[in-house]
Amino acid sequence: MALDHYVTLGRSGLRVSPLCLGTMTFGESRGWGAPVEECRTILDRFIDAGGNFIDTANGYQASQSEAIIGDHVGHDPAKRDRLVLATKFSNNLYLGDPNGGGSGRKAIIGQCEQSLRRLRTDYIDLYWLHNWDIHTPIDETMAALEDLTRSGKVRYIGVSDTPAWKIVEANMIARFRGWAPFIGLQIEYSLLERSVEAELVPMAREMGLGITPWGPLKSGALSGKYTRRNDGQVQIDRGAMVPLNEQTYAVIDVLESIAEAHGSTVARIALAWLRMQSGVTSTIIGARRVSQLEDNIRSTQIVLSPEELAQLDALTKHPLPFPQNMMTMFPALHNGGTTINGVAGGTSMIIAPGEKPY
């Protein structure tokens, strides 16, 4: 697979590259991140390699991320139209303004207009609800997004960092009212963060949302930078939440072994594992340097064997909560001793031949 082997996002016709360029580090307005010239070089390299999916947000680097992207591609209509530009709303940039953020109609429309201006474009290809606003009814949010979609200012909508039950409510409202539904789901997902497999991942598959994981290297813990051998010797990046403990090092040990077998790197193996998970459409990668981007892009060339996937799965899979933890016993209750869709059922509830149910 390469970056120009495109995939459709969820239950839609939107074609995106298998890696999405995340731009949270674009700019240095918060005292960290990548300088403008490096950001431009990263954008060009990603696009030249076939990548077309770029993700930002109104709150990234106090909106400098959007401005850098807009300044670089907004002046070239042909380049802009070939890209899938995605940005997010919800985060409030204005101290003292209660309607400057959140997911109410006033906030959404205002944030959209501001993002369009910074991105130097007439439309947003994919507009994400960044995080759930508990104070706004979800039907108000969906109605405002429908108006933006019908106006042409937004082409598709997606949802990030929101409970599965609320996403289902939103999409069912959209379905029954003939509104645009969420087609994508952004969630933290990696070998070190698999709790989403209990509710969010199966929900996305059932509802037709393409999963675009963020944090695939868990704040750099799976980048290859940290190992058991250099424990305590490498400075952790500012603001990174790197869980360096025995469990993490056990995963890194296995990743190093698999990487050696492939002549590759720990980061590429971790990204390849995530790309091969069910429901994942396009993985969001972030880079402050072109060298990081180059390394991440090469992960698309790696295909892990069933044995390697099983090894990583056994090491990192979360125990499922109730009621998912009971699902393995359900075939015995449902199947009457038969096999359905390849799943064999036991006979714990079977009535003996000649015996009649009460």
Q: Which two tokens stand for residue 339?
A: 């096999």
Other C-beta atoms closer than 10 Å to the C-beta of 319 total 8
Residues 6+ apart with CB under 8 A from 308: 258, 261
Torsion sign across C-alpha atoms 257, 261, 265, 271: negative
- Cis amide linkage into residue 323, ω under 30° from 0: yes
Which position among 6, 60, 127, 156 bears the catalytic label?
Answer: 60
Check if 60 is active-site.
yes
> Which residues are known to be catalytic?
60
